[in-house]
Structure 1
Amino acid sequence: MTGLRARRLEQLGMVWSLTGERFQENLEAARAYYDQHCPLCAPTSASAVDKPIGQWLSNSDAPEPSTANRSGKPR
């Protein structure tokens, strides 16, 4: 695909990576939470911009499955 075609698709809202798109949406929600509450230390029940930002932040602190052993501790 040429760069021109890719740019045209992006202008229409093409999402190349669903994971990346969701990350950006949650990051925007984290910024909104931070703007209102200052430190980004949200309880797991917190939400911002209709996103469960507290749970997302909690999950972001969890080790990657490939780096954790059966006990859930990093190797």
Structure 2
Amino acid sequence: MSAPQEKHQDQTATALAALTACIVQTLGESNPSFPPAFLKNLDDLYYRVRENHLFEVPALETLQLVRDLLKK
């Protein structure tokens, strides 16, 4: 994969993570139990797919970025 294509994919993953975090935070404004439930499901999914090698490393990094953005 070429460097410009990798950079584009990195930017896409970062944007996807940021949008996901914004959606979760917005839903949390009207339903405070939503963000913690989402984070629990995200953590469960992350460990399940990591252990079973279901996603490539960049996909796992995107999931981790969503988690990091929501924890801040």
State whether TM-score is above 0.5: no
Instruction: State the structure with bigger RCO (CA 8 A, min sep 6), 1 or 2.
Output: 2
> TM-score normalized by structure 2?
0.36
The structure number with the bigger radius of gyration is 1
More helix by share: 2
